Every structure is written in structure tokens, then in C-alpha cells.
Structure 1
Amino acid sequence: MNKQPDTAFDNSTHKKVTRKVSVAVIGAGTAGQNAFRQAKKIKDDALIINDGFWTTTCIAVGCMPSKLLIAAADRAYDTNHSSEFGIHATAQIDGKQVMERVRAERSHFASYIEEQVDSWSEDSKIAGRAYINKQGLIEVNDELIAADKIIVATGSSPFIPDGWADKLGDTLLTSDTVFELADLPKSMAVVGAGAIGLELAQAFTRLGVDVTLFNQVKRVAGLKDDDINNKAIDCLSHELTMHLGSNITDVGSKAVGSQRNAAAFIDYEDSAGKMQQWQGEYVLVATGRRNNIHELGVENLGVKLDEKNRPQQLDKKTGKIGDLDVYIVGDANANLPLLHVASDEGFSAGSMVCDNKKDAYIRPPATPFSIVFCSPQIINVGMSLPDIEQDPTLEHVIGKVSFDNQGRSRVMGVNCGLLHIYGCKKTDRILGASMVGPDAEYIGHILAMAITNDLTVKDMLDTPFYHPTILEGLRTALHDVQDLMEIPYQSLDTQKNNS
């Protein structure tokens, strides 16, 4: 580091520096492990320090256990809702087995990461909580480490509003603790209608839990396109009890029954301004996540944080902070807390420690892309509609398709949805898209690939769309974009004949 002492002693504490390394990675999640692996290719003395589990947020408390819960929920839902096909059945849900499978399969996925970590030499990894002191040295356990470059990848933790933990006590759940439930509860409130809140609220509902979803604004999944947001609320409200636009005034728990079991309560003002109270077994707080760097001491390296602990002067390609030899990557930088973004940022930061920058491979920033795995799924790709509308240089059109009567969607009984594609009239390129509907994850990938590879709307329409598929809805929306652009459509065959 620039603040590394000239001697092998920390003069403020009189502790001897136990080792000097070229690169120290703090945090062993997705970004940290990628950064360490890449740095280790170049610097033999690269070191990784981690406090807590040595897997990833995705595997331990995020993507994978939530999808395992959703998979069980979807099986139950399909069993209970097949009467329109002439199939009548009722799912018998074993809550303990559901949760046991979630944890067992999570352990299976984690074993691959743990095997990789076990393969690293013992002298290249330290289990413990790191702190960067005022001399720029890393204090961890009984060691004092001087590093030329530091990569911070300490991840994030669930955000809990002030006072809620004390008031709710054992009735409080977060995405970090909910998968440890031994059995499915009878009732639950979910606070927050972002990706985590929506996915878990719907999954538990489908598994027979009485779920009520609260959100302060009348939006779900952070949708910024009003029409898509309204359609998402319409589709989801068929099975979810939602109090959108509600203001929670108090939370707590109280003893009930002869066994003094705790019950949670939420006092709230509904969207009509009327005071109400919810009571139930648990409150799952899904009000977002915050990075874990506030107690790390990065300010001692010259890193400046804003009021939300986000690092300033951040290079979003590499995670580098200004001219410092400090890199903050993954959820720790609060840029885009998504696994594929964390992976790319970690890889790029690990590559940047190469002395010969010509050989360093920096992955370009990915096209913005997010998926919410509720049903119907929700995606956002590229620029948002408000960002497009605020740019006076972008003359845009909105191509639309409804999935309410789309052929294959209706065949499958999943016909609720809407897709908007934002096209640029000057360039015939796709600026972004937003969608709620069936197979949105696949449509989102196709649109992200088109934006990343600079494909025109015509390029996309010249590719085959097999019939009957839900993806034909994408073609309909693309045709709508082209019609609004008033660009005459020529098929690939017509082009070949003309040439």
C-alpha cells in the first residue's frame, strides 16, 4: 500500500509485521475467490483472508437455497392448480422434508467451493476478521500484514431497520436465516417487495404458508416502467396478499398461549390511510442488503465512503479506487449486487495486480440485466425507461406484446404478462427492455446478448423463432418496434434474392 511503513514494525503499536505480500484479498465470496485465483496466477505470495463461511452468498443464503425453495413451491402449485387441464389433485406438503432438501442440496453445491478452497495452500489463506489500521497494515488474528495491493470483497448483509431486531426477537427472519427453519411456519409477513421479498413471499405462499407482503411504495421488483409494474402487480395479486403503499409504524412480538410462544405483530397505515395490525408467526425482513465495509477500516487507506457506505471514485470496470492500490469489488462496493457482476469485478481486480498491465484482462462492464424468479418472472435489461426519457439525444419507441393471449403461453396456462422493448429510432438498436411474463429469463438473455453484441432490430428479426414457443412473443414486440420506427422489414431471404 502507499501507506506501508518503511520498516518491518508498526510504530504505533510496536507490533512486528509478520509478513509482506504483493496482494491481500479480504473476503472469500464470489468476487473475492475470483480475484484471489486470478492474482495467484501472477503473484505467488497472494493471500486471502475471510471471516465466516468460505463459500459464497449465492450458495449459502442467496440464489441457490431460494431457487430450491421455489422449485418445491412450483411443484406444489402445479399439483394444486391443474384442474383447468382436467387433472384434479391436492399436494400433501411435508414442510420438514422441504426445508431438509433445501439445506441438503445447498450443502451439495457448497461442497464444490469448499473442495476448491481446501486445495489452496494453508499459508495463502487466513480465517479471521481483518481490520486495516491507520498505518495501512492488515490486522487479523495475531498477524500484522503489509500488502502492496488490497482487494476488498467483504460482501453484504441483510439490512434491518433500527430497533426491529430487539422488538421482534426470535420472530425476526432475514434471507440469511430463513433457510434454517426446521419446518414451514403457519404464517409470515414479508417486508419488502424487491427480488428477495417477492420470490420468498410467493414460494412460501405456494407451500401453504399464510403470507402477507408489505411494501412502502406501490411498486414491485424495483420496476421503473409503470405499465410493466402495474401488470406485475395484477399477475401476482391472483395468489399473493399484498399491502403496497403501506407505512409500517411499529413492529414487535408478544407472548401468546399457555406455552408463552412468541407471536409477531406489525402496526401499519394502509394505502387508504387507515391504521391496521397484522399478527403472525414470523416477520421476514427483505428490505435490501448493505455492504460490510463499515468496520473494515478502509478509510485508513484513503477510501472515501458516502452516507450509504458506498466507495467514491470507483472504477466500475476494475473496482479500483482512484489512484490508490485498493480495489473494492462485488457486493462490497454496492454497485450492482448481482453474482455475475461480482464475478466479473473480482476477475478484473485480480487481473489488475499484474505488473505488466498489457497482459491484464479486464472484463468489460456487463449489460445491466436482472431477473426476479417469481411467477411470472420479471426482467430488466439495458437502460431503464426513465433513464432513456431523461436523455434528450435518445429518440425512442416502445415495442409491446401482451402474453395474456399469446399462443404457447395460453396452451401452458401461464398467460399473464407484458413485454416492453425500448428501441432507438436513429440506430435501430435496442436500448433496454422490461418484462413480466413466462420464460422471461430466456427472453432477457436474448435481449442482453443483442445489446451486448450491438445487434439491430433487423438482425434479431432475421433469426428464426420456432412455432409454437413463448419466445414468439419476443418477435411480436420486435416487429412492433420496427413498425414504430417506420423501417421497412426485409427478410433474410429477400436480402439474398436482391443480392
Structure 2
Amino acid sequence: MTQYDVDVAILGAGTSGMAAYREVVKHTDRVALIDGGPLGTTCARVGCMPSKLLIAAADAAHEARHTDKFGVSTGEVTIDGVAVMDRVRRERDRFVGFVNDAVDSFEDRHLIRQHARFIDDTTLELADGSRLTARTVIIATGSRPIVPPPFKTAGDRLIVNDDVFDWQDLPRSAAVFGAGVIGLELGQALSRLGVRVHLFGLGNSVGPLSDPDLVAYARDTFKSEFAAHFDADTQISRDGDKVVVRWTDKGNAADTGEERFDVLLAATGRRPNLDTIGVENTSLILDERGAPRHDHMSMRADTAGDGLSSIFVTGDAAIELPLLHEAADEGRIAGENAARYPEVYRRARRTGLGVVFSDPQIAIAGRGQGDLTKAGIDFAYGEVSFEDQGRARVIGKDKGLLRVYAERETGILLGAEMIGPAAEHIVHLLAWTIESRLTVIETLQRPFYHPVLEEGLRTALRNLAAELEFGPNPPLRCIDCGPGG
């Protein structure tokens, strides 16, 4: 047998790389965890956690400004940008510290603090010129923000989300490009913290939503709070220390304008860190994006050879679902298979789950409307508006729309899309239900308390059951119908 320096080499010590490492060491001590960049994971340093810290401050300010509807007056709300960003950085550093403590608990001899690139499928060249051979390799190199070339006109006023969380203070104005998860979350948060924000998107899309009616509802909702054009032609230039954005709405040529901003925030997606690791030197089959084609149930990459690739790809490098819990799952699958190679197993993946921490929140569980339509599945939907939902009206969170989708023949729940209050919690209930392959009727047999937001889900399910002809039409005015209602 060929002798290798290690059994498994893992490129990247982020979320998926750490998960892979923990799985590999259950099977072998011959492992190298290679990372020459900053440790601490994308989530803790520049993603999930610092963004939620900024959003928490923004939501506090927003809630304080909107107490009059309850007959409560709190006076003028002031924002101390320096204090806001100080808390964001301190708590961010705390989360990063927890991750670094975890890495420090790994065996010192396993961690190589250098960058590496492929020489061939089983040989890696380290930054110091030395080489390391591995029986299997796991690519867990993460991702970085995409900066389209026209944005570079903004010069030193161009920022990406990674930069935001090192701010010492808040800017006075920001042009936010991108209506995906990052753009929506940061754009709305900055607006609520007193920053003049204008969001620019393309294609009229909003976050991960695919149901046209929910997309339209979301556009109207966010445009009622801050300036936004979800499908705009733009031109960017500099005027002294300002970024100048000229825009024309693609759907309305008369809607045109020009504004000056302190910064341009590029939130136009992320690209996998694959261009510097020498994947072109391997036998891997690359797709049109330059990413290794792979099986998402085993995380093994396809090869131009006999198909028995010894390379696995995980996390953001896999360009599937750039979410922490997905990256951790992929890391565990890749770690097990890389350690046991050539015995490779396909593992069932958990029901998809995604949340945008905007307000109202956006969430998807299982398969969305676009995916179901593309797959040609015969499905029906039921919906509920939170504008007339009991608990939502009580707490003044009465903006939202939820749709649940089920297979027409069997009534099995397939997915849901939602914009509305407490979406982060309701979508978990839906994901668990979909994972259990429950039908609409079986789900309706579960208990619902009164009065809670989850009763809105029950209304949507009742409407879906009626659409499937599995039950009677609910009353026209069923405000979270009580027991027996």
C-alpha cells in the first residue's frame, strides 16, 4: 500500500473543517488540519453572530420608537453609534474566542498554520515549500464576499459585510447593493440605527423567497420602511469623499434619481475560496462556477478517473447552502467518509431550513414554491395573513404572510415559505413536521395553544386541508378559532 504522511488532510478550520476534524479523529490519529488564515469561523467573525448583534441594537431602537400604539410614550430615541459598535465588537470577539478555544483543544501536532494547494489529488504543497501527502483530502476552505468590478469605482468607500463589524462608529449614509440575506439584514439594521440607507437589488428578488406573492409582499413591506429598488440599473462614481449612485428602476423608467453616500456596502453574495488551492491540478470535475462537482449525500467530489475520488468538499466551498448547520452536517459526513475511505456512505440530509433575521423575518422550510414547480410536483398551498391574526394584532407585529405546500395526492407536507413575526420559531415546527413526513391532517391533530402566533400556522393548514378537499372550508373570519372552532 502507498504510504502517506497522513490519512486525512483537512483544508480549512472553519465550521465544516472543525466538524470534519472531530469526526476524523474518531477513526485515526493521522490527520492534518491546515489553515493559514484567521481562525474563528465565518459565522463568529463576520457572519451569523456579529450581524445579529447589530440587528439586536437596531430592533431595540425600532421598538422604542413605536410604543405609541400601546399608549406608551418613551420620548426621543437617540443612537450612540460608538456604543453600538463597541458592543458588537466586544461580543463578536467573545464568540470568536469560544471558537478559538475549541481549536486550541485540538492536538497541536494536528494543526498546521499555513496555506496549502494541491499538486495532485493526494499531494499538497504548503506555504513554506514543504509537501504533505494524504490518503484523502477534505476541502473546507470557506468563502469570501463577491465584489463586482463596477463597485471598485467607490475606492476606499467600498466595504463588504466583513468590514462592518470592525467599525468604530456608524456612517451617516450607505448604499446597500444586494437584496439577499446579507443585504436585507444589514440594510434594515443600519436604517433602524439612523443611517440613511438605499438598497439596490436585481431581478425583483427578496432573500430566499421564491413564491411570487410572498416576494411581492416582502418588497412592499421593506419599501415602506426604507428606500429600496429591487430591480434597478445603476451607475457608480466618486465625488470627493462621497459615493454617487445614479439609478433607474427597470420596471418604471420614470423612477430615476441620484444620491450621495458615505459608503457603498457590497452584499452581492459570496464566492468559494477555491481559486488559490490548485483544484486545477487535481482530477476533479469542475462545474461552470469552477467548483468541484460532488454528491451532496456523501460530499465526495466527482473525478475524471474511475469515479472513486479521494477528495471531499464541504461547507461554503461546496456552494450548496451557506449555512452554519448545513456546514457542520457536511463536515461530519465528509469526515466520516474521508477517514473510512474507500468505504464511503451516503447519508440522508436533514430537511432544509433557512431564516433571514429581518423584520418581519423571512423563513423557508423544506421545499419552496420555486423548487416544487421546477420539479413538476403536483402540490397545493394554504396561506394565512398575519395582518388579521389574533396574537400578531395584540403585540403589534401584524405584518406577514405564510404559505404551506403539500403534495396534492397524499397530503404530505413538503415545504413552506414565510415572511412574518416569529418566523424563526414557526419554521422550526414546520421543518420538524416535514422531516417526520406528516400529512396536513396529522399536523392539525397536534396541539395549538391560544392565543399564540402558531395559531396562524394552524389557519394556513386548515386552508390547505380545504384546498386538498381533506376537510371543510374554515369560517371566513376565523381569528385563531378557539377550541372546536
When normalised by structure 1's length, the TM-score is 0.89
Unaligned runs of 5+ in 1: 8-18, 256-261, 490-499
Mapping for residues 74-113 of structure 1, pairs under 5 Å: 74-89=59-74, 90-113=76-99
Report the CA distance between 1:234 and its aligned residue: 2.0
Following the alignment from structure 2 to structure 1, what is the Cα–Cα distance between the partners of residues 42 and 136?
Answer: 24
Contact 2:14–2:40 (CA under 8 A) maintained in structure 1: yes
1:264 aligned residue = 243
Structure 2: distance between partners of 1:45 and 1:134: 20
* Cα deviations by residue, 1:398-419 (Å, 9 ceiling, x for unpaired): 1011100100000111101111
Partner of 1:481: 464
Q: Per the alignment, in what secondary structure is the counterpart of residue 466 of structure 1?
A: coil
Shift of 1:424: 1.3
Give 1:132's aligned amino acid: F
How far 1:349 sits from its partner (Å)?
A: 0.5
- Pick one of 314, 335, 338 that aligns with 1:329: 314
Which digits, 9 at most, give the CA deviation of each residue in 1:58-98, with x for residues without a partner?
A: 10000000000000001100111111111122222110110
Deviations 1:165-203 (A, max 9, x none): 3x2121111111111111011000100000110000110
Aligned-residue offset at 1:48: 0.4
| Runs of 4+ that moved beyond 3 A | 354-358, 360-363
- Residue 482 of structure 2 is matched in structure 1 by none
Range with bigger deviation, 65-74 or 169-178: 169-178
Match of 1:492 in 2: none
Whole-angstrom distance in 2 between the partners of 1:32 and 1:388? 32
Q: Tell me how far 1:483 sits from its aligned partner.
A: 1.0
1:123 deviates by 1.6
| Structure 2 counterpart of 1:291 | 272
Q: What does 1:184-195 align with in structure 2 at a 5 Å threshold?
A: 184-195=170-181
2:401 corresponds to which residue? 418
2:16 paired with 1:31 = yes
2:372: which partner in 1? 388
Shift in Å, 1:252: 3.0
Could you tell me which of 119, 122, 131 is aligned with 2:105?
119
Number of the residue aligned with 2:297: 317
CA displacement at 1:390 relative to structure 2:
3.8
Equivalences for residues 195-210 of structure 1 within 5 A:
195-210=181-196
Contact kept, 8 Å, 1:21 with 1:146, in 2: the verdict is: yes
Query: Which AA in structure 2 matches 1:377?
Result: Q
> Would the aligned equivalents of 2:7 and 2:339 in 1 still touch at CA under 8 Å?
no
Report the counterpart of residue 149 of structure 2 in structure 1: 162
1:370 and 2:354 matched: yes
**Is residue 395 of structure 2 the alignment partner of residue 408 of structure 1?**
no
Length, aligned pairs only: 463
CA drift of 1:363 comes to: 4.6
Deviation at 1:33, TM superposition (A): 0.6
1:146 matched to 2:133? The reply is yes
Cα distance in 1 between the residues matched to 2:53 and 2:118: 38
CA contact (8 A) 2:179 2:207 kept: yes
Equivalent position amino acid for 2:461 in 1:
L
Could you tell me how far 1:357 is from its partner in structure 2? 7.7
Kindly indicate whether the alpha-carbon contact (under 8 Å) linking 2:85 and 2:167 is maintained by their aligned counterparts in 1.
Answer: yes
- Report which stretch shifted further, 109-118 or 25-34: 109-118
What is the CA deviation profile of residues 315-366 of structure 1, one whole-angstrom value per residue up to 9, with x for unaligned ones? 10121013210001000010111111111000011111343888x8865212
Determine the C-alpha separation between the residues in 2 that align with 1:380 and 1:217.
20
Q: In structure 1, what is the Cα distance between the partners aligned to 2:107 and 2:221?
A: 52
Q: Deviations over 1:40-71 (max 9, x none)?
A: 12110111001212111110000000000000
Report the equivalent of 1:69. 54
Q: What SS does structure 2 have at the residue aligned with 1:131?
A: strand
Contact residue 344 and residue 363 of structure 1 kept, 8 A: no
Map 1:209-228; keep pairs closer than 5 Å.
Answer: 209-228=195-214
Q: Is the 1:347–1:363 contact (alpha carbons within 8 Å) kept by the matching residues of 2?
A: no
Structure 2 equivalent of residue 12 of structure 1: none
SS of equivalent residue, structure 2 residue 428: helix
Secondary structure of 1:52's partner? coil
Determine the C-alpha separation between the residues in 2 that align with 1:229 and 1:279: 28
CA contact (8 A) 1:345 1:363 kept: no
CA distance 1:458–1:246, change in 2 (3 Å): same
- Between the aligned residues of both structures, percent identity stands at 40
SS of residue paired to 2:38: coil
For normalisation by structure 2, the TM-score amounts to: 0.92
C-alpha separation in 2, matches of 1:488 and 1:31: 45
Paired residues of 1:270 and 1:276 also in contact (CA < 8 A)? no
Please tell me the residue identity of whatever aligns with 1:273: A
Query: Residue 229 of structure 1 aligns with which residue?
Result: 215
In structure 2, the residue matched to 1:495 is: none
Consecutive unaligned residues in structure 2, runs of 5 or more:
303-307, 473-485
